[in-house]
Amino acid sequence: MNVRDYITAAILYVLMFLVYAGVGAPIGMTVAGSLFVFAACAVVWGTIFMLLFTKVNKKGIVLLFGLIWAAMQLMSFWGVALVIAVGAVIAELFWRTLDRHKFSTMLLCFTVQVVFLYLGMTIPLIFMKDMYLAAVSAYADLYSTVFDMLIGPMFFVGLAATVVGCVVGAFLGKLLLKKHFQKAGSYERGYQTHSFFRAGPTNEALAGGCLCVSYF
């Protein structure tokens, strides 16, 4: 990745964190809502992630997001950071192995990333409860109550909601970006570069050029 890619990624990462602060954090202040923080964020994140994946469609971009988020969680509890980092590595492996120009690959990597954010919040609490609560002592009462919910079916309800949120967000992002390109007049010229925008005969778009120039 070049300097421009890092700047673009940084801008979009900041947007994601602002969404988390504005949408996820308030939801997470309630016991029931804490299990659906990432499901809610994923619906909004979908557009940002799809933009990131198409604007900076290069190796390392998936891993970078996960590691940044993991590094931030080191300030709370290392177990959370570890789970998120593992998810980032898995998502990056998919990103490198599969065709990263396809929407299905973008959807998969986005979902893996967000699911591991959810698992990062829940798995350490389930298996390392005492250490977790000691690390986040200011929220010990809240997370202790969340733990009581996690040992039941609500863990899987929250997990399923997170996956659904990712799918909805990704398809919403795909739809919004498609409309953006059509409105800008660049959809027909640029869809050849990224296959989830592909809609016609291949010989019609051979002169497509670089899609990346018209995102912002």
DSSP letter string over 146-215?
Answer: HHHHHTTTHHHHHHHHHHHHHHHHHHHHHHHHHHHHHHHT-HHHHTTTSGGG--S-GGGSTT---GGGG-
179 assigned to some structural domain: no
29 assigned to some structural domain: yes
Question: pLDDT tens digits for 56-82?
Answer: 888 888 999 889 889 988 888 888 999
| Domain residue limits at 63 | 3-166
- What is the value of pTM for the model shown? 0.78
pLDDT at 206: 28
pLDDT, greater one: 30 or 87:
87
Question: pLDDT tens digits for 98-148?
Answer: 998 889 999 999 999 999 999 998 888 888 878 877 877 766 677 777 777
Contact by Cβ (8 Å): 145, 129: no
Count of domains observed in the chain = 1
Dist CA 190 CA 204 (whole Å):
11
93 assigned to some structural domain: yes
190 assigned to some structural domain: no
Amino acid at 162: T
The pLDDT of 13-27, averaged and rounded, is 87
